[in-house]
Structures are given as structure tokens and as C-alpha cells.
Structure 1
Amino acid sequence: MKAIFKVVIPARFASTRLPGKPLLDIGGKPMVIRAAEQASLSGAGQVIIATDHQPIVSAAQEHGFQACMTRADHNSGTDRIAEVSAQQGWADDTIVVNVQGDEPLIPPALIRSVAQHLHDHPDCAIATACHPIHDEASMRNPNIVKAVLDKQGNALYFSRAPIPWPRDAYAGNLPSPQHAHALRHIGIYAYRASFLRIYGQLAPAQIEQIESLEQLRALYHGYRIGVAITPEAPPSGVDTEADLLLARKIFETRR
């Protein structure tokens, strides 16, 4: 059965590296609008931009997208999405996909895939995505989050460290063998609204704080995270000035 789902795009105005990032122009439109356009192509029944900044609400409305104001003191995008879910009064079984506002190139098929994965795995509270790692630099890069899965394809753990750890190869300072089956985590999530209501009540976990990975809170408290495997990495989000210039160049070539 085809999944029915909603997309919420958390768009916090403050950014240390790119001030006002959601409203930065990409091909004649604000970045957050580009992300919303991709989300609207995913088959989502509803797309909402959630923000703490009135000009972002105005930009959304100007381009025909629904937006809502949320509190400015949220610690994470998940908390902001949980507020939206409560505002909207969504039923427990509603599937809500978190699409970041700095992902103007996110493939609509990836959004749909994560929502479908959660729909097809009723034992999971969350679904996310990963793709295979094929190079040593990515395996060892702490800015690239790795994941290890169980037999059912659910997450066992996420880490910035190289996992699974190829003991014999690394003990001899050798490259990781291809059979290590390393997976890179893609930062997109689908949640059930019932979990979003619970998330804010869960105490932060020590492993979450050590790794700086909020999804570890759910694992620590016993919630299952299903993982959809995609063969290739999606385009990168916009975190730096160089990322912004690249995104602008890509949209320029599409005109």
C-alpha cells in the first residue's frame, strides 16, 4: 500500500556560518522554498514550513506554501516538528517526514522512500536512510555519520567513528576492506506523530551527547529506527558559502 505522509521543513533563521540561510537566494527563490518545492514533488499530502522568523512565513506564503510560527527556543528540528504536529492535531499514525530547509536539491524519491519505509515497518517509530561507503576517507571522517544495522534492517547504532571497525585491517594500519559493509547515514527522518508527542519527554542520553547525534536518544530509550538503503548519496545540503555557490550554479544550469 502506498504511504500517505506529510512533510515538515524546519527553518531556523539563525545560522553561525550562513546568517539568514533559509532566505538566501538560489536561482531567484529563497533556499527554503527550493526545499519545499522538492518536497511537494514527493507525493506528500501536505508540506509545512516551520520557523521562528516571520519573514520566512511571509516568503512561504508568497510562493504558495503553508507555514507556521513555532517557538524560538527549540533545541532541535525534531522538537520544532513535534510542535507543528501538536498544532495540527495529527493522529497518532500520521507519518511526518523531516526535510531540512537547507536541502534545496533533495531528491523527491528519497523523501517518498523514507516515508514508505516507515509505513511498511509498523514496529518502527522512526525511519531514515543510508547509502554504502566506498572510500576510505569517508569511513574515517568524523563529520560523516556511519550506521550499523540489525538483521531486520533496523539501526543498531550511529557513530562518527568508523563502524563497523575492521579490526585486523586497522590494527595493521591498512585500508578498510570492501566487505566491511559500511553505511553512511543520510540526515532525513520520518516519524509517527505518536512518537513526536513522546520525544520531548525523553531524557537526553549520554551517548547522544558524546556523539552529538540526537537520533541516539531514540535508540537509547528502546525505539526502533528503520533504515531505507539507497545506492547513491543525495546532493549535499547547504552549510557553507561554497555549498551555496554550488547550489546556485546547479540551478543556473537548469534555466
Structure 2
Amino acid sequence: MLAIGIIPARYASTRLPGKPLVDLGGQSMIQRVVAQARQSSLSRVVVATDDARILEHVQGFGGEAVLTNPDHPSGTDRVRDAYEQLGVAADCIINIQGDEPFIHPAQIDALVQLFAVPPPPPLATLVKPVVSSEELFSPHLPKVVLDAQGNALYFSRHPLPYQRQHPETEWLQQHRYLRHIGLYAYRPDVLTAITQLPPSPLELAESLEQLRWLEAGYRIQTAETELETIGIDTPEDVERALQHLRGQ
């Protein structure tokens, strides 16, 4: 099975300009993401960037990168652009966040394995159990509810389900909540189709792109992980990542 990992990496960032090139203990963030992805079962790992500085940097450390249209509205669009430039026929495409320098190879493999069993799902993503009230009520950590087969029913920045019969302090004791981990897998034909969909009402309300796909009728299968990752969005996150590296 041919599984390709594509890492969207934009230079512009409101809170952390040049984020992919930020130094984390002697390696750039994007270099660490590539290194982690290469330890998985992926056949190929490619960085999709809108900036020549990132392209040259990735090629400089021996990585593979392609230059994409700078006007793409989302990482999904950038992944499709890069895949089309590669000119290969993959069985699945994994969208790996470029600001996750500690992504676990096992998390990538969990999604690849879903596509190894016929029939492959149209789309797949990761979920993780919520372990604290801080996670549960944070609007920055989307939650997800699943059907009995592990397919996503809905994603929300609000805790779902609402525990009508219990105070919020008891919600975690009453229900097993799941949060969404933003690692996506697509069948190539589905990737092409979803990038042609217009923004949907639920997506605009929650600011969650995956709701567009659900509203359009696409099934999103999930795999569960217990592993934690550290996303980098702010200078404070960089310091937290450096502390993590010092503790390794």
C-alpha cells in the first residue's frame, strides 16, 4: 500500500511568524516533524509550503518539499496541491500538522492501518480521551462524539454531550469524552472532492473545517490514541517545547 505523508507549512503566522523555521534545540520545527513522520510506515514524506525559504531549508536537510499556491485557504487545499504535483497514485494521503514537532509515528500508523483493510474509509482522523476539566471546557481543543462504529457524528468546541442531569464538575465522571487530534487521512478522490466544497454553516459557526465534510455526507472514521503531542502556536508554546526537550 502506498501511503504518502504531506506536511503543510506556511511561513506567515499571526502569533509566530516563520513558525516552521523556529529553532527547537538545534533543529527547526519542520525538521523535527519530518523526522518523526519518517519513522512511521509512510512510503514518502513531503513538505507542502508557500515560501521559498522553507522549501530551501527542507531540501537543505535532505527532506522533500514542493512549492504550492500561496493563496490556499486551508492546509487541506495545500495538501491537495502538493499531491497533484507529485504525480503518483497513492492509496491514502496523511495530512500531518507542520506545528507538531513531537507527533508520534504510532499515531500516523494508526490512520494508515485503517486504509489497509478494505473497503478503505473516505476520511479518517484521530481522537484522544479527555483527561481533565481544563481540556473538556477549552474551546481551543475540539471535542468529538462517535457512533457505535467509531465514525464521527459531530465535532464541537463545546463539550458534547451536555450532561443535563449533572453539574459540570461531575461531567468527566459521568461520560467518556473524546477530543480531536488534528491528523487527517484521505482517499485521493475524496481529498479532491472536499477541497471543492464551499464553506458550510456548521463549519462557519464552530470554525472547524471537518464539519464541512460531515455536512456534505462524508464519513469520517476515527482511530484512538492515548499519546499526547505538543502543538506550537505561540512563543510560549516554543518555551514549553524546549522544556520538554530538556526533560527528555
Q: TM-score range by the shorter chain?
A: over 0.9
* Structure 2 partner of 1:209: 204
User: Following superposition of structure 1 onto structure 2, how do residues 189-204 of structure 1 map, counting pairs within 5 Å?
Assistant: 189-204=184-199
What is the TM-score normalised by the length of structure 1? 0.92
* Structure 2 partner of 1:112: 109
Aligned to 1:176, what secondary structure does the other structure show? helix
**Would you say the 8 A contact 1:134–1:178 is kept in 2?**
no
* Structure 1 partner of 2:217: 222
Per-residue deviation, 1:174:
4.7
1:11 aligned onto 2:46: no
State the distance in 2 between where 1:85 and 1:162 align.
35
More displaced 10-residue stretch of structure 1: 117-126 or 94-103: 117-126
Unmatched segments (≥5 aa) in structure 2:
none
Per-residue deviation, 1:177:
4.4
1:56 aligned onto 2:54: yes
Aligned to 1:237, what secondary structure does the other structure show? coil
Per-residue deviation, 1:12:
0.3
**Would you say the 8 A contact 2:20–2:30 is kept in 1?**
yes
Deviations 1:197-231 (A, max 9, x none): 11221121100010000001110111110110113
For residue 187 of structure 2, what is the amino acid of its counterpart? Answer: R
Per-residue deviation, 1:135:
2.0
Deviations 1:181-210 (A, max 9, x none): 210111111111111111221121100010
* Structure 2 partner of 1:124: 121
State the distance in 2 between where 1:123 and 1:155 align.
16
* Structure 2 partner of 1:88: 86
| Number of residue pairs aligned between Structure 1 and Structure 2 | 248
Aligned to 1:169, what secondary structure does the other structure show? coil
For residue 134 of structure 2, what is the amino acid of its counterpart? Answer: A
User: Following superposition of structure 1 onto structure 2, how do residues 68-83 of structure 1 map, counting pairs within 5 Å?
Assistant: 68-83=66-81
Deviations 1:90-128 (A, max 9, x none): 33x621111111111111111111221243363521111
* Structure 2 partner of 1:153: 150
1:244 aligned onto 2:242: no
For residue 185 of structure 1, what is the amino acid of its counterpart? Answer: H
RMSD: 1.6
Aligned to 1:120, what secondary structure does the other structure show? coil
For residue 207 of structure 1, what is the amino acid of its counterpart? Answer: L
Aligned to 1:131, what secondary structure does the other structure show? strand
Runs of 4+ in 1 over 4 A off after TM superposition: none
Aligned to 1:152, what secondary structure does the other structure show? coil
Indicate the percent of aligned positions where both proteins have the same amino acid: 43
More displaced 10-residue stretch of structure 1: 153-162 or 125-134: 125-134
Unmatched segments (≥5 aa) in structure 1:
none
User: Following superposition of structure 1 onto structure 2, how do residues 12-51 of structure 1 map, counting pairs within 5 Å?
Assistant: 12-51=10-49
Per-residue deviation, 1:245:
1.4
Per-residue deviation, 1:13:
0.3
State the distance in 1 between where 2:118 and 2:164 align.
33
State the distance in 1 between where 2:54 and 2:66 align.
9
**Would you say the 8 A contact 2:9–2:47 is kept in 1?**
yes
What is the TM-score normalised by the length of structure 2? 0.94
Per-residue deviation, 1:252:
4.2
For residue 237 of structure 1, what is the amino acid of its counterpart? Answer: G
**Would you say the 8 A contact 2:114–2:121 is kept in 1?**
no
* Structure 1 partner of 2:164: 167
Aligned to 1:189, what secondary structure does the other structure show? strand
State the distance in 1 between where 2:162 and 2:139 align.
14
Aligned to 1:196, what secondary structure does the other structure show? helix
